[in-house]
Amino acid sequence: MGFIALENRRIEGDKKTILTFADLNELEPYAWENLIIQGHSVNDVLERMKQAVDQKMRDEEAKAQQAAAEKEYQEAMAKLKRGPLPLCRGLIFLFKYFHLLKTYSIEIAGIFL
């Protein structure tokens, strides 16, 4: 078997590996497959794909955190619109939802909260 035939067989095997990995990780396989055709090694492409999967997971986590923060903000605004709260409860509420309340005691007009 000639060198060209062996190289074509290797490329086809590498493409199948890349396609399988892309399908398992919900990535678009064809862009990765083109890297194999361009001469990149399967290990290099798999490493790049792993980085893309990691980035995708970080983006999804950030999106989920953003959605949770938005929901928390909307709930806080809805509670504020329901009616006036006593001063102390209202301040605790604001500090809690805007992440300003830490482990410190807050003194307002001589009242410890």
What b-and-e string marks burial along 53-86, b requiring 16 or more CB atoms within 10 Å of the CB?
Answer: beeeeeeeeeeeeeeeeeeeeeeeeeeeeeeeee
Q: Tokens for 112?
A: 């410890």
**What pLDDT, on the 0 to 100 scale, is given for residue 107?**
46
- Write out pLDDT tens, residues 38-97: 889 999 999 999 999 999 999 999 999 999 999 999 988 887 777 655 555 565 665 665
- Distance, in Å, from the CA atom of 93 to the CA atom of 89, rounded to the nearest integer, reads 6
Q: Tell me whether strands 111-112 and 107-108 are parallel, antiparallel or unpaired.
A: antiparallel
Whether residue 31 contacts residue 5, with contact meaning beta carbons closer than 8 Å, is answered with no
**What pLDDT, on the 0 to 100 scale, is given for residue 82?**
73
